[in-house]
Chain A
Amino acid sequence: MVDDDIPSTVATSEEDLLRVEDLETRFFTEEGQVNAVDGVSFAVRESDVFGIVGESGSGKSVTALSLLDLVESPGRITGGHIWYRNADLAEEHRERTPEAVDGDFVDVLQLSEGQRRALRGPSFSMIFQDAMSAFNPSLTVGEQIAEAVEVQRRAEANPRSVRSKTQGYGLGSYLSGLVLPQRDFVNRQSKLEAIELLEKVGIPDPAERADEYPSQFSGGMLQRAMIAMALAGEPDVLVADEPTTALDVTIQAQILNLLKDLQAETDMSIVLITHNLGVVARMCDRVGVMYAGEIVERGTLEDVFDDPVHPYTQGLLGSVPDLDRPGDRLHPIKGNVPDLIDSHMDDRCYFADRCPKAMERCLDPPGERQVGGEHAARCVLVDGEYDESEALADGYFEGSTAGDAAASEGSTADAAAEEATSDD
């Protein structure tokens, strides 16, 4: 696929902790190749909250998984860089793999699998949408949090250079741990720390709750417990994938407040994935809007919310009924989200078929264009106003994609990832 010629590097900053460049994640399914993440670039600053907002099937969750290298077969990260600023890590790899190091930045994707795995916990960690399924139902909540603590403790107990090797907790160690309590992976100290973490995320009577199973927790409490688990490694970057979607509003408010407080306290950066524009507005400093595997617009919260350039961003904001200013008819975006299957995607602006301002120029894939400051968008409208004389005829895309797009919501990127993992 021919991509744009403009390199997508927007306003790099001193404070960047994470720079994602042209990330591509694909799923190779029986229906065909699914381009779930298709050349995504963004930067996350230190102690900043970066929001990725999009509808289901936009590829936002796969982006989150890609950051932690948790994409599973038949999915694969097929290209791009994830530059992560960590002076120690850079020093360690400068000699051995110079191509993966740039100043204090290390390209995580060029490290070995073991090295990448060692970054999970202390560098990156993740909270998932559905806490009930993210906890193992047959182990106590305390035990599972203690595991996360223990991973961190063992990593610290060993010098960084052999860290990936300490992962070698083999079958033998596990089996002997079953017989001899003192050889168990999790020790008493980490269990106590787990209780402290539960206390920290506001769970009453944490010592008792630590011995309970996930099914005994309410949704909100379990979400808190998952946050505790993610914080165990004191991560630099917390990836939160729809952390409040499964919760009621009053509980959502609690969790968002908690995340805000914890972020202020620990100075970590958060990558927040959500479809809820209100949550983005509440939490984020900077935002990227995803559509069909691409970030179509990004910038500061004010750039994107007050001054949207891309018709998709405008449409998204226009679709949400306003709680405080009720009023007129909503202005939805027509049509449906495309299915991201490579062979179904024409080489054009993916939004053109739903765009009220589609022009002939949109039939070429638009590159990312600078709007000003950190604000950028993948839309020709940045270059100039909508010109009605160039408008595409009504029904230009009909017949070619409408039917397929309709039929395919089930096999969009996230669904493909889902299917791929549950498939026997």
Chain B
Amino acid sequence: MISDRLKRNLKKEFRNSLLAKVGVFLMLLVVLSATFAPLLAPHNPTQTNPEQAQLPPLGFESERETSEFVDGEVQTVSRSVEGSMEHPMGTDAVGRDMASRILYGARTSLLVGLIGSAVAAITGVTVGLTAGYYGGRIDDGLMRFADVMLAFPSLVLAVALVGLLGPLTVPIPDPFVTAGLADGMPETFVFPVTVTLVVALVNWVWFARIARGEALSLRQEEYVKAARSMGASDGRIILRHVLPNSFTPILVLATIQVAAIILLESALSFLGFSGTNLSWGFDIAQGRNYLATSWWIASIPGLAIVAAVIGINLIGDWLRDALDPGIEGESGGM
């Protein structure tokens, strides 16, 4: 679906734009972390170790209060701890390695983001193209339904649905561990199914709206009229003419939606609704209780989210600039 011209534009835009390069770099970082987390992680991210709890990141110091026997009495002693290579990003309240948790957290964010966005896109585009192409009552019905969906803030709806349906998760065996390449790492990866479906459910409307708008205007294009005058079936017209020509804005929206969904997932995890404890949002919620003593537990996962989302947004801008130079863009759709 990506023609030579679009490829050329993408390349040209990439060469000219520093921001596009930064975006691709950040995204690569997240994708590589997510994929090779078991190989890259220094520790098992779920392994607790009270001895090593609340260690600061490399290069930082932290005062820690411990109970020690001094002169036969239990006393609270303040002691300075330094970050070490052992735990480059420090450890959390129960001594789990932050660096490993960040790497594994990328998996959750990325998988939920990509699969959620894909499910939303497929549903929304199918509905939207049909409604826009046929118009009339089908279209009216969809648009009123979309209005109702839009009336619920996606976060509120997601919280309600996940909270009420309960967090279903599926353990997926980790191929690296199965292959014996990463001993000591978690054997399965916990994929939050409910969260993924719910984020898709609350976001498909955006795709439907964009696809509908595209279909409505493409329906008026002379090449679609020409195809009809030649006797092409509706199915053929939608698949051969309407879908390919609405692909660009849908792709741009899908990209932005990955970012939106990562933010949504982290918010759900933060509120404790996600069902997995290997998530950036979950760690922020944990770290929130230790702000006064261990700032890094809440800060570092947040930075990871910001970096990932910036990366995706930059890629979205790059795609939009490259794919849509002349066309009046509906700016993002959200």
- The answer to whether A binds B is yes
Bound: A423/B329 CA distance, A: 12
- Identity of the chain A residue whose Cβ is nearest the Cβ of B328 in the assembled complex: A422
Interface string of B316-329 (1 = CB under 8 A from A): 00000100011000
Can you give 6 contacting A-B residue pairs, CB < 8 Å? A30-B12, A30-B16, A419-B326, A422-B326, A423-B325, A424-B321
Q: Which residues from 373 to 424 on chain A have a C-beta closer than 8 Å to any C-beta of chain B?
A: 419, 422-424
> For residue B16, which residues in chain A have a CB less than 8 angstroms away from its CB?
30
Bound: A22/B326 CA distance, A: 33
> For residue A424, which residues in chain B have a CB less than 8 angstroms away from its CB?
321
Chain B residues with CB under 8 Å of chain A are: 12, 16, 321, 325-326
Bound: A400/B150 CA distance, A: 56
> For residue A419, which residues in chain B have a CB less than 8 angstroms away from its CB?
326
Tell me the count of chain A residues lying within 8 A, CB to CB, of chain B: 5
Bound: A424/B12 CA distance, A: 16
> For residue A422, which residues in chain B have a CB less than 8 angstroms away from its CB?
326
> For residue A30, which residues in chain B have a CB less than 8 angstroms away from its CB?
12, 16
> For residue B12, which residues in chain A have a CB less than 8 angstroms away from its CB?
30
Q: Which residues from 3 to 23 on chain A have a C-beta closer than 8 Å to any C-beta of chain B?
A: none
Is the contact region of chain A dominated by helix, strand, or loop, or is it mixed? loop
Bound: A30/B16 CA distance, A: 10
> For residue B321, which residues in chain A have a CB less than 8 angstroms away from its CB?
424
- Identity of the chain B residue whose Cβ is nearest the Cβ of A410 in the assembled complex: B326
Bound: A181/B226 CA distance, A: 55
- Identity of the chain A residue whose Cβ is nearest the Cβ of B329 in the assembled complex: A424
- Identity of the chain A residue whose Cβ is nearest the Cβ of B13 in the assembled complex: A30
- Identity of the chain B residue whose Cβ is nearest the Cβ of A422 in the assembled complex: B326
Interface string of A287-312 (1 = CB under 8 A from B): 00000000000000000000000000
Bound: A419/B321 CA distance, A: 13
B14 to chain A, nearest CB (A): 13
A137 to chain B, nearest CB (A): 15
> For residue B325, which residues in chain A have a CB less than 8 angstroms away from its CB?
423
> For residue A423, which residues in chain B have a CB less than 8 angstroms away from its CB?
325
Bound: A422/B327 CA distance, A: 10
> For residue B326, which residues in chain A have a CB less than 8 angstroms away from its CB?
419, 422
Bound: A419/B12 CA distance, A: 17
Bound: A423/B321 CA distance, A: 10
Bound: A419/B16 CA distance, A: 17
Bound: A260/B326 CA distance, A: 38
B73 to chain A, nearest CB (A): 70
B23 to chain A, nearest CB (A): 17
Bound: A423/B325 CA distance, A: 8
Q: Which of B12, B16, B321, B326 is the most central at the interface, judged by chain A CB atoms within 10 Å of its CB? A: B326
- Identity of the chain A residue whose Cβ is nearest the Cβ of B321 in the assembled complex: A424
A172 to chain B, nearest CB (A): 31
B57 to chain A, nearest CB (A): 40
Bound: A424/B16 CA distance, A: 14
Bound: A422/B326 CA distance, A: 8
Q: Which residues from 119 to 148 on chain A have a C-beta closer than 8 Å to any C-beta of chain B?
A: none
Bound: A419/B327 CA distance, A: 11
- Identity of the chain B residue whose Cβ is nearest the Cβ of A424 in the assembled complex: B321
B6 to chain A, nearest CB (A): 16
Bound: A424/B327 CA distance, A: 12
Bound: A15/B16 CA distance, A: 51
B111 to chain A, nearest CB (A): 33
| Leading 6 A-B pairs by shortest Cβ distance | A419-B326, A30-B12, A424-B321, A423-B325, A422-B326, A30-B16
